[in-house]
Amino acid sequence: MGNFRRLPRFDYLAPQTIDEACAVLAERPGDARLFAGGTDLLLQMRRREIAPRAIIGLKGVASLSFIRRQNGGVAIGAMTPFSAIESSPLIGEKHDFLCETAAGIGSPELRSVATVGGNLSGALPCADFPAPLITLGAVVRLRSARGERSLALEDFFRGFAETAAAPDEILIEIELPSRPACSAGAYLKFHDRHAMDMTTTGVAAFVTWDAEKRLVADVRIALSVSGPIPLRAKKAEAALRGRQVTGEALEEAALLACQEAKPRTSWRASKEFREELISVLTKRALRRAGEKAQAAAERGNA
């Protein structure tokens, strides 16, 4: 076999703590690449799309891998693999659609290695996890040798493979606020194969139901692969708030979501096909999240 299938050479740095990782990154700004699960980066390196001088392996930083209750919500460490998310009883109790989304990514072999932090930090338009997390109002915590800051996840993405993290900052944690009563989410995606495929387009919806007035108290909609970064469909949300989930309301929301999206034509699908998908998936995701939220209300909330 030829050398072209080997990885390019690099220095390998293995911090054991978050502080060590920040210090190592600060010493080599621009020249070292953070390395989480590595399932995307190793492919890019093998194809010579990137050739970092050094990689900072985070698998040894044990304090970055956890799922725990925090302030009534959930905190997820950036190095938590998708296999841990799909089987987490805590996440299943709070947001079952996140477990389903995790279980729909790649294969068991990829999910035991690929991490939530890598999925977000890679900032690729085809990533599945950003949209559902955005509908939950997720906040990311970034740490550097200079200190720590928090940022809403929807403000984290800046462009194709580009995030708001400074060159010396590490995404360490994703925080999900406490779930409102009578609320539920759904993430629906279209892809050509049953599994092991990139998402053509995906839509996440999170609905909070007002059990007394019997209408949508609040709703968030976020779109995957509908532009260079994950997008919130805020006009579609506004159109649904305070209404019942009728066919008419869904049509209106779907039309607005299409107008807010910026899909493009790629070899995978045309712009027009993606717009059609956004419309259909927005309606289905809203209907499913709405039904689950109403069911929660009828059970006396959960």
Partner 1 sequence: MKHASPISLKVNGDDYELSIPAWRTLLEVLREDLNLTGTKRSCQEGQCGACTVLLDGRPVYSCLFLAVEAQGKEILTIEGLARSAGALDPIQKAFVEKGAVQCGFCTPGLVMATKSFLAENPNPSEEEVRRAMVGHLCRCTGYFQIIEAILAAARERAGKGAQA
Determine which residue in the list 19, 31, 109, 192 makes contact with partner 1, applying CB under 8 A. 109
Stretch that binds partner 1, among 56-64, 89-97, 201-209, 252-260 (CB under 8 A): 56-64
Q: How far is the CB of 194 from partner 1 (least distance, A)?
A: 7
At 2, is the secondary structure helix, strand, or coil?
Answer: coil
- DSSP per position, 9-69: P-EEE--SSHHHHHHHHHHSTTTEEEESS-TTHHHHHHTTS---SEEEE-TT-GGG--EEE
- Total of chain residues touching partner 1, rule CB under 8 A: 31
Stretch that binds partner 1, among 7-15, 88-96, 225-233, 293-301 (CB under 8 A): 7-15
Asked if 160 and 215 count as a contact pair (C-beta separation under 8 A), the reply is no
Q: How far is the CB of 57 from partner 1 (least distance, A)?
A: 6
Would you count residue 7 as binding partner 1 (CB under 8 A)?
yes
Determine which residue in the list 65, 80, 83, 183 makes contact with partner 1, applying CB under 8 A. 83
| Residues recorded for the chain | 302
- The encoded tokens of residue 50 equal 């990137």
Determine which residue in the list 15, 38, 77, 230 makes contact with partner 1, applying CB under 8 A. 38
Would you count residue 161 as binding partner 1 (CB under 8 A)?
no
Stretch that binds partner 1, among 162-170, 188-196, 224-232, 250-258 (CB under 8 A): 188-196
Q: Helix-strand-coil percent breakdown of the chain, rounded to 5?
A: 35, 25, 40
Binding mask 226-245 for partner 1 (x = CB under 8 A): --------------------
Stretch that binds partner 1, among 35-43, 62-70, 182-190, 285-293 (CB under 8 A): 35-43
The residues, any chain, with a CB within 8 Å of residue 55's CB and separated by 6 or more, are 10, 11, 12, 13, 32, 33, 34, 35, 41
**Range 86-122 burial, b when 16+ CB lie within 10 A, else e:** bebeebeebbebbbbbbebbbeeebbebbbbbbbbbb
Would you count residue 57 as binding partner 1 (CB under 8 A)?
yes
Would you count residue 145 as binding partner 1 (CB under 8 A)?
no
Would you count residue 92 as binding partner 1 (CB under 8 A)?
no
Q: Count Cα neighbours of 218 within 13 Å in the Cβ-side half-sphere.
A: 13
- The encoded tokens of residue 121 equal 């930090």
Would you count residue 196 as binding partner 1 (CB under 8 A)?
yes
Q: How many helices (H) and strands (E) are present in the chain, helices listed first?
A: 11, 14
Give φ, ψ of 210 to 5 degrees. Answer: -90, 105
The residue among 40 and 237 lying less far from partner 1, judged by its C-beta, is 40
Determine which residue in the list 23, 26, 42, 164 makes contact with partner 1, applying CB under 8 A. 42
Q: Where on the chain is the footprint of partner 1 (CB under 8 A)?
A: 1, 5-12, 14, 38-39, 42-43, 46, 53, 55, 57, 59-60, 83, 106-110, 112-113, 194-196
